[in-house]
Amino acid sequence: MSQGYTTTEKLLTRLGKKAFLQLWAYPNTFREKGKELCDLLVVFENDIIIFSDKNIQYPTKLDKQKNWKRWKNRAINKSIFQLNQAEKHILKNPDKIFIDSKCKETFLVDIPKNPKIYKIAIANGAAEACKRDSKNNIYGSISVLYHENSFFYPEQPDERFVIRLNKEDTIHLLNEENLSTILSELDTIKDFINYLSFKEKIIKDKKAIIYVGEEDLLAAYIQTKGTLGNSDVDVLAIREGEWDRLKNSPTYPLIKEIYKTSYIWDDIINIFIKEIEKNNLISTPEDPRIISSKKDLSNKGALLGMAKENRKARIVLSESIMELIAKHKQTGKEQIRFLQGKDFENSYVIFLTGDLFSKYNDPHIFCTEILTASCIKAYTIMPCPSNIIGIAFDNEKIISASLLEVNPTTMPEKLREKYLELADMCNIFDEYKTFTRYSKSLTP
């Protein structure tokens, strides 16, 4: 798989994989041999994000208007054209998307039938020219204006560094600078899509919206906690420098410090992805010996469920894991916890095993059975509307791990009863005791 060809494409790929994870983010996809579809394609459940990246050097001739028009046509207009063409192809030919230029490897994620598509143009090369044009333009971002044609004043002959975009078919315009900012601040698929969805709603609700750079709109969104645009005004104008004020506020570093713990969850997801690439790790409760394919895991299952959690939910989940590790260090005993809450996308059983299963010939299978029994038992104690995701790992270094998704309501009754019997034998979620006394596999 490509990692991007140009410097900015490589940056986009690196940031995209960090925020969206490599099971759902694919750089340099193709529609036919030698014909690129887009620079980065993200597909996650019903949402599709298409990125087009252009890095065009800004002209330096004496005629400033011609310089602007020439750059805008090559960096922005052509990017918008590519995005619209990519959207048409994805909707018309979802089975003809490839991850290599020879079109031998098909796209691994299923394209939904009625997807919500977000289109993002990344236009690089004009930052220094923007800064020269306005001393208040700290980051070299272009002003963006979405408006109804009959409502706002027409484009002026001397207008530069302002781009007017279609209000009904939203294109999100970024550059290298604010791309890094936004994918660093909204670095989960859930948070990023929530932001794009919020933005498109206020664009449609208002007669006009204007801001200087996506980073200022992002700052307003963060500070108002998603309530921006709730007033009855027809025009929403974001102050220039809003992002800089937020970044230099006394609360900003405190929030970033709180978020640090949450990346334990990201680390665990990435460990699981690496294990998947080695054809290891993911089992099914019906048969712990079954290993799911990478394609299957991109479209459903436990790993998809983990990736759906937003950054705030990951703080709580990561703190719970840290507490289990601390208790294990203190007592030397295995630890287990059932996590359920309105802020989570799923319910979880997290099991720190220690060296509990190391003596068994196939510790992975046995661990999967105990983990499944724990999920079934948790459901009987506190029924939940979603499937239960079970996560097991051996210690803070996570050398060995297991992951599965259990739906107690669809599991065959006899198998469910066997797992409940195992849970009762091991006193799971009761008076917690060691599992070593049980050694018979439930697997046929």
**What's residue 124's pLDDT?**
93
Q: Whole-model pTM?
A: 0.89
243 to each of 181, 203, 252, how far by Cα in Å?
10, 20, 11
> Do residues 238 and 381 both lie within one domain?
no
pLDDT by residue (tens digit) across 224-242? Answer: 877 787 778 888 999 888 9
Among 198, 231, 249, the domain-final residue is 249
Partnered with residue 130 across adjacent β-strands are none
* Nearest partner of 124 among 176, 70, 65, 48, judged by Cα: 176
> Do residues 285 and 203 both lie within one domain?
no
Percent above pLDDT 90 for the chain: 41
Residue 435 lies in a domain: no
> Do residues 94 and 155 both lie within one domain?
yes
Q: Which of 103-112, 287-296, 382-391, 401-410 has the highest mean pLDDT?
A: 103-112
Residue span of the structural domain in which 357 resides: 257-425
Residue 68 lies in a domain: yes
> Do residues 242 and 357 both lie within one domain?
no
For residue 244, which phi and psi values (nearest 5 degrees)? -65, -40
Residue 398 lies in a domain: yes
Among 214, 249, 284, the domain-final residue is 249
**What's residue 275's pLDDT?**
72
> Do residues 318 and 387 both lie within one domain?
yes
pLDDT by residue (tens digit) across 271-292? Answer: 888 777 665 554 555 544 444 4
Question: Across residues 126-151, what is the average pLDDT?
Answer: 80
pLDDT-derived band of residue 357, with 50, 70 and 90 as boundaries? low
> Do residues 279 and 240 both lie within one domain?
no
Residue 437 lies in a domain: no
Instruction: Specify the 3-state DSSP secondary structure of 54.
Output: strand
* H-helix or E-strand spanning residue 133: helix 127-133
Distance CA 394, CA 334 (A): 9
> Do residues 32 and 127 both lie within one domain?
yes
Residue 17 lies in a domain: yes
Residue 352 lies in a domain: yes
> Do residues 142 and 225 both lie within one domain?
yes
> Do residues 234 and 380 both lie within one domain?
no
Residue 133 lies in a domain: yes
Residue 405 lies in a domain: yes
> Do residues 208 and 96 both lie within one domain?
yes
Domain count, the chain: 2
**What's residue 442's pLDDT?**
38
* Nearest partner of 299 among 26, 42, 45, 87, judged by Cα: 45
Distance CA 97, CA 111 (A): 10
> Do residues 25 and 113 both lie within one domain?
yes
> Do residues 245 and 263 both lie within one domain?
no
Cβ atoms 276, 248 nearer than 8 A: no
**What's residue 363's pLDDT?**
67
Distance CA 145, CA 126 (A): 17
Q: Which of 165-174, 346-355, 367-376, 408-417 has the highest mean pLDDT?
A: 165-174
Distance CA 443, CA 266 (A): 31
Among 220, 249, 278, the domain-final residue is 249
